[in-house]
Structure 1
Amino acid sequence: MRTMKGYVELFVLPVPKKNLPAYCRISQRFGKLLKEYGALEYREFLGVDLKVQGMTAFPSNIKLRPGEVLVSAVLGFRSKKHRDQAHRRLQGDPRAKRLFKEYNEHPLTDSKRTLYGGFATIVKV
């Protein structure tokens, strides 16, 4: 199958409700940095309609616990190569290093239950 221009990284992750404001603040900072290094789009979404009869629901895959909400993030790039370049450049930024250190010292999510994937565009309307 032939792919088109466009590449996204998708994340689906559990966030304790009490951590949501702090998570949004740190994500805002991360998104701004990533866009400086070339990301075309950085958006995060709060799950509100997560159960559809006859389909596997995200909460069951993530094993969403009481007091947690589901967040999804979409990071857009021109291509996988473009994504790789943006992330490489981001890794060298002292602001990003501080941000990662801050997050690692006080994790706001359970990364072991995070779903992730990089996807090439196959249909665009």
Structure 2
Amino acid sequence: MTYIDGFVTPVPRDNRAAYEHHVAQAAAIFADLGATRLVECRGDDVPAGTHTDFARAVALTDDEDVLFSWIEYPDRATRDAAGAAMMADPRMAALGMPFDGKRMIYGGFDGVMVSDSDGTNTAPGYVDGCLTPVPAAGRDAYIAFAAESAQVFRDHGALRVVEGWGDDVPVGKHTDFARAVALQDGEVACYSWIEWPSKDARNTGWQAVMADPRMADRDMPFDGRRMVYGGFLPVFDQRMGADA
């Protein structure tokens, strides 16, 4: 089963080029350590929320963009080994950090639902990213809800839908996934995304999804008021390994 390291990062707009260079260098290291894909997406249509949002999640400043990114591994064992090796890799020590790492939020997630439209590994032109607080006792209901929703999204043009269940999600000093979704006792933070061919396809697809009768009158097995969501433009997408 896919294992995911998910990140949300505040990056100064003046550092866009430096950040993308940083990511390209890091991707080569992660490929050597067993990762199968690394994706970085820059905030494009990221609304302010009443209770939670991506800007608050990383204490975003006016001169920064929010980045939604992830690294995929074949399993947690590979991810854990990569994390240990990374700490000892001199190439990581040599990398600059063109962002405020104290406000970056990160964590490990079980890929509990991965739905591909055609298996062709088509690179997305747009990504919808979500962070969701879900009752731990409602895991099965959430996965079933996600799978049913994924089918609707794929029927209306989505390339891939992935749901990650919080598994190794640390508490941060300044920011973290728990604070991002105002997590309550007995809840788990989930990390998910929808890949689309383009922003136009995403906008058209969402209109069709909202009008689809399969989405009507459904009970959400989570508090949607605290869900964090937004639209992102991919700026880096590297697939590694035999399936790249």
Give the alignment's TM-score, normalised by structure 2. 0.44
Structure showing the higher helix proportion among its residues = 1
Distance in 2 between residues matched to 1:61 and 1:91, nearest whole Å: 26
1:109 paired to 2:222: yes
Deviates more, 1:53-62 or 1:113-122: 53-62
Report Cα offsets for 1:6-26 as digits up to 9, x if no partner. 111011011011222111111
Higher gyration radius (CA)? 2
Question: How many correspondences in the alignment?
Answer: 118
Per mean C-alpha deviation after superposition, the further-off stretch among 22-31 and 57-66 is 57-66
Tell me, yes or no, if structure 1 residue 6 matches structure 2 residue 125. Answer: yes
Show the counterpart of 2:156: 37
Q: Which runs of 4+ in 1 moved over 6 A?
A: none
Q: Do the aligned partners of residues 108 and 5 (structure 1) sit closer, same or farther apart at CA in structure 2, a change above 3 Å counting?
A: closer
Return the alpha-carbon distance in structure 2 between the equivalents of residues 76 and 121 of structure 1. 10
Pairwise CA distance, 1:5: 5.9
1:45-84 equivalences under 5 Å are 45-51=164-170, 56-84=175-203
Q: Judging changes above 3 Å, is the alpha-carbon distance between structure 1 residues 5 and 108 closer, same or farther for their aligned structure 2 residues?
A: closer
Q: Which consecutive unaligned segments of at least 5 residues does structure 2 have?
A: 1-15, 17-41, 43-122, 239-244
- Residues of 2 paired with 1:52 and 1:69: CA distance? 13
Q: 2:233 aligns with which of 106, 117, 120?
A: 120
What fraction of aligned residue pairs are identical, expressed as a percent? Answer: 28
Question: In 2, distance between residues paired with 1:29 and 1:62?
Answer: 23
User: One-letter code of the match for 2:229?
Assistant: Y
Following superposition, the deviation at residue 95 of structure 1 comes to: 2.0
1:18 counterpart residue number: 137
How far did 1:55 drift? Answer: 6.0
**Pick aligned residue for 2:207 from 77, 84, 88:** 88
Is the 8 Å Cα contact of residues 125 and 234 (structure 2) preserved in structure 1? yes
**Greater strand share, structure number:** 2
| Distance of 1:63 and 1:6 partners within structure 2 | 30
Tell me the TM-score normalized by structure 1. 0.82
Query: 1:61-117: per-residue Cα shift (whole Å, max 9, x none)?
Result: 2221111111111100011111011112223322222xxx122xxx32111211111
Structure 1 residue 30 displacement after superposition: 0.7
State the 1:54 CA deviation: 5.8
CA RMSD in angstroms, aligned pairs only = 2.2
Change (3 A) 1:15 1:5: closer
SS in 1 for 2:191: strand
Contact in 1 for aligned 2:156/2:209 (Cα 8 Å):
yes
